[in-house]
Amino acid sequence: MTNSGLMKRLGRMLTEDLDEIEDDRIQRECQQPGAQRAVDCTRGDEATMVGELRSVETRSKTTKTGVVAEFFDGTDTVILKWMGRNRIPGIEPGRRLTVRGRVASVDGAKVMYNPYYELHTVDE
């Protein structure tokens, strides 16, 4: 890398918002052939997306109302809901995965119910 390239990158890192830098990183790392960007998906679309889980909420064992996760691909957030489960091994914050399912809209938020998912290994 040239000296001027390094200086530009350092300047960007010092002045850009940390959330924007993180969003750019996730977006770059989650671009894969055949994957759609969450921002481009609309209600009714069958979509395959690659991203990271920002948060995961598990429900009570007695109610079994499901696992809810916030999925982010660097462009938009999609709420993933697995109904009737109180825990799913591997579904945890920070985990990268590929999800596939139909996009719904609930109160203006993008949602996928019971999506097919594939966990990525740590080095992917």
Average pLDDT estimate for 30-37: 72
Rounded to whole angstroms, the Cα distance separating 4 from 19 reads 25
φ, ψ of residue 108 to 5 degrees: the values are 85, -5
Give me the mean pLDDT over the 6-10 stretch: 70
Distance between start and end Cα atoms, the chain: 24
State the pLDDT confidence band at 23, using cuts at 50, 70 and 90: low
CATH class of 3-119: mainly beta
pLDDT for position 91: 94
C-alpha span between 48 and 40 (Å, rounded): 11
